[in-house]
């Protein structure tokens, strides 16, 4: 058993969190963050709209609360993956327009690009993890 002596140990229970579980949660957090950015962009011209952002990934992990994925029809099977992502007003919004809107499209574009890069990295690590498990189990690349 590996022991980690840092603040991370307080945030994560390393014994119960697998690599794949962590990667899946990271990808779900990034997807939710991208959804919030898309809502910000869609409301860029809405008077009084306040730009929003998600709480940090570490906050989602430390909360431990769960919310089930939504289904669009009663006959659909609910997903088993659960995540909780807090959404709050973006205190770091770059500007406020005369109509009270705080969405800066440039800032949202930068965020969307960062999210995309992080999602691609998480997906690549997830894929590599599967390749390592397959290699360990079968010895075949």
Q: Mean pLDDT score of the chain, rounded to an integer?
A: 79
* 58-103 pLDDT tens trace: 887 776 544 444 556 676 555 554 556 788 899 899 988 999 999 9
Q: Token pair for residue 58?
A: 């570490």
Q: What is the pLDDT of residue 95?
A: 87
HSE value, Cβ hemisphere, 13 Å, CA-based, for 85: 21
* 34-58 pLDDT tens trace: 999 999 999 999 999 999 999 888 8
**pTM over 0.75, yes/no:** no
Residues 101, 44 contacting (CB under 8 angstroms): yes
Domain boundaries, the chain: 7-138
Confidence of residue 1 (pLDDT cuts 50, 70, 90): very low
* 102-139 pLDDT tens trace: 999 999 999 999 999 999 999 998 888 888 888 888 88
Q: What is the pLDDT of residue 63?
A: 67
Using alpha carbons only, what angle is made at residue 56 by residues 30 and 71, rounded to the nearest 5 degrees?
45
Q: Token pair for residue 66?
A: 């769960």
């Amino acid at each position: 058993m590996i022991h980690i002596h840092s603040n991370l140990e307080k945030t994560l229970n390393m014994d119960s969190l697998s690599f794949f579980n962590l990667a899946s949660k990271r990808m779900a957090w990034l997807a939710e963050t991208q959804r919030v950015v898309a809502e910000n962009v869609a409301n860029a011209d809405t008077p009084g709209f306040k730009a929003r952002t998600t709480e940090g990934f570490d906050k989602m992990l430390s909360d431990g609360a769960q919310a089930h994925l939504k289904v669009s029809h009663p006959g659909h099977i609910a997903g088993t993956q659960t995540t909780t992502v807090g959404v709050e007003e973006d205190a770091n919004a770059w500007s406020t327009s005369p109509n009270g809107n705080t969405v800066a499209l440039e800032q949202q574009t930068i965020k969307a690009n960062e999210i995309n890069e992080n999602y691609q990295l998480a997906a690549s690590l997830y894929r590599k993890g599967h390749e390592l498990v397959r290699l360990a189990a079968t010895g075949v690349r």
